[in-house]
Amino acid sequence: PLYSSAASDVYKRQQQSVREVYGDDLHVFDRPIEYTIRIAECPMAGMSILDYEPGNPAAESYRNLASEVLRLG
């Protein structure tokens, strides 16, 4: 996944570039994984972000990604 600030202009440009290069051959997910320092702390704690800090924006990003994957089938 791309780690980014959801409002990041850089992410939007990356997303557009991937779409231009791969077109319909590659699905580009709607939202990036929101990066926070908590993501870096998780491996040291031996936990996923969903367990380590469930209310964190990154945890919400992963839940959104899972929902989108399930919708795609």
Q: What is the pLDDT of residues 16-53, one digit of tens each?
A: 899 999 998 998 887 788 888 999 999 999 999 999 99
The tokens for 18 are 């991937």
Q: Please, which pLDDT band fits residue 62 given cuts at 50, 70 and 90?
A: very high
**DSSP classification of residue 26:** S
User: Which pLDDT score is estimated for 7?
Assistant: 57
User: Which pLDDT score is estimated for 2?
Assistant: 52
The tokens for 37 are 């320092």
Higher pLDDT, 8 or 52: 52
Q: Please, which pLDDT band fits residue 13 given cuts at 50, 70 and 90?
A: confident
Q: Is the pLDDT of residue 54 over 90?
A: yes
Look at the alpha carbons of 25, 27, 28, 33 in this order and tell me if their dihedral is positive or negative.
negative
**DSSP classification of residue 3:** E
Q: Is 63 helix (H, G, I), strand (E, B) or coil?
A: helix
CA dist 34 and 25 (Å) reads 25
